[in-house]
Amino acid sequence: MKIALIGYGKMGKIIEKVALSRGHDVVCRIDIDNQNDFESDAFKSADVAIEFTAPTAAINNYRRAWKAGVAVVSGTTGWTSQLPEIKDEIAKNGYTLFWSSNFSLGVNLFFELNKHLAKLMNQFPAYNVTMKEVHHIHKLDAPSGTALTLVDGIISNLDRKDKWTLGTTATPNEIAIEALREGEVAGIHTVRYESDADSIEITHSAKNREGFALGSVIAAEFVCGKKGFLTMNDLLKF
């Protein structure tokens, strides 16, 4: 499979290493200083582009890749307020976008555990739920996309919560999300249910970025020949 990389920082270089180890060819690497390569023959020859950049750049990157006839796998977060518009664009034009807030297999198992726990907690209103996430200092969006996926999973399954707020205090119907940026932390997410009697916590801690990179390459393998908006649920079939 021929892969193009959009974003060639730390994450892009790890993805390249994983892709090569799985027998794929990296035919183009696009970063800030070579944006014209979206129009290059090398980029157009790719079966799929894997995109990890910044929230402000992501949608333009998708559109430039689609214009070149290249499917996209993306892990960029912080832009999803425009997701309905992008889904419509994909459906109307037959484009392909596989997007995930987190490509780690462990995190996606954690997403399912989080939803199940929220369903159970519907029976126990004495427990209030909060969230804490910690990432490296280079991460631009807060809360993280992973935290927002987790909070959506809670709100969809816990009747007493219908919105979130950034910080440590919240109204009874809100979920407080504390977002910290420290050092080179790959990602720690904790969901905490607390009552006057006790507390219950579930936590996912990423040890490094290799798990995210591997998941994105597996998604690229999965997406070949497919159309539409795809997610990890399509890949993992939970």
Find the catalytic residue in 13, 87, 139, 227: 139
Q: Are 151 and 115 in contact (CB under 8 A)?
A: no
Rounded Cα–Cα distance for residues 126 and 122 (Å): 10
Judge whether 139 counts as a catalytic residue.
Answer: yes
DSSP strand pairing (2-6 vs 48-51): parallel
Residue with tokens 């709100």: 155
Q: Which residues pair with 166 in a beta bridge?
A: 177
Give the Cα separation of 99 and 52 in Å (integer).
Answer: 11
Burial 73-93 (b: 16+ CB within 10 A, else e): bbbbbbbbeeeeebeebbeee
Query: What is the rounded distance in angstroms from the CA atom of residue 98 to the CA atom of residue 108?
Result: 15
Q: CA-CA distances (angstroms) from residue 103 to 59, 107, 173, 219?
A: 19, 8, 30, 8
Of 132, 135, 189, 204, which residue is the catalytic one? 135
Identify whether the C-beta of residue 228 lies closer than 8 Å to the C-beta of residue 91.
yes
3-class DSSP assignment, residue 127: coil
Which residues are catalytic, by number? 135, 139
